[in-house]
Structure 1
Amino acid sequence: MTPRRLIPLLRQFDFARQRLTDRMTGPTVDSGNGSPVEVSPMTDEEHLWEPVPGCWSVRRRSQGPGPRASLLVGTGDWGRDGAPMPHPSPPPFTTIAWRLSHLTELLALRADHTAGNHTMTQDDHRASGVAAEAIRAFDASAAQWRKALLTADDNALDTFGYSTYPYGSDPDVPFIEIVWWTNQELLHHGAEIALMRDLYRAGHQ
Structure 2
Amino acid sequence: MKIPARLVPLLDQFDFGCERLLGRIEGPVVDSGNGVEVEATPMTDAEYLWEPVPDCWSVRRQVDRPGAGATALVGAGDWGRDSADSPHPVPPPFTTIAWRLTHLGEMLAVRADHAGGTRTLTKGDYRVSPDAAGAIAGFSAAAAAWREALLAADDVVLDRIGHCTYPHGSDPEEPFIDIVWWVNQELLHHGAEIALLRDLYRYRS
Unpaired segments of 5 or more residues in structure 1? none
Whether 2:70 is the aligned partner of 1:60: answer no
Query: In 2, Cα distance between the equivalents of 1:149 and 1:164?
Result: 14
- 1:27 matched residue in structure 2: 28
Whole-Å separation in 2 of the counterparts to 1:80 and 1:19: 24
Tell me the equivalent position of 2:167. Answer: 166
Q: Count how many residue pairs are aligned between Structure 1 and Structure 2.
A: 204
What is the aligned-residue identity percentage? 65
Instruction: Give per-residue Cα distances to partners, 1:38-97, cap 9 Å, x unaligned.
Output: 010000000000000010000111222111111100110110001111111111100000
**Within 1, Cα distance between the matches of 2:185 and 2:168?**
16
The match for 2:98 is: 97
Query: In the aligned structure 1, how far is the partner of 2:46 from the partner of 2:61?
Result: 14
Q: Give the gaps of 5 or more residues in structure 2.
A: none
Structure 2: how far apart are the matches of 1:84 and 1:18?
Answer: 32
Question: 1:11 is matched with which residue?
Answer: 12
Matches of 1:47 and 1:128, distance apart in 2: 10
What letter is aligned with 1:2?
Answer: I
5 Å matches for 1:176-187? 176-187=177-188
- CA deviations 1:161-204 (Å, max 9, x no partner) are 01111111112221101001100100000000000000000116
1:132 matched residue in structure 2: 133
Alpha-carbon offset, residue 143 of structure 1? 0.2
Equivalent AA in structure 2 for residue 190 of structure 1: G
Aligned to 2:199: 198
Normalised by the length of structure 1, the TM-score is 0.98
Give the CA RMSD over aligned residues.
Answer: 0.8
Q: Deviations over 1:109-146 (max 9, x none)?
A: 11000010000011101111200000000000000000
- Asked if 1:121 is matched to 2:122, the reply is yes
Write the distance in 2 (CA, Å) between the matches of 1:167 and 1:82: 12
Hey, what's the Cα distance between the residues in 2 that align with 1:175 and 1:127? 27
TM-score (norm. length: structure 2): 0.98
Q: Distance between the aligned counterparts of 1:185 and 1:84, measured in 2?
A: 20
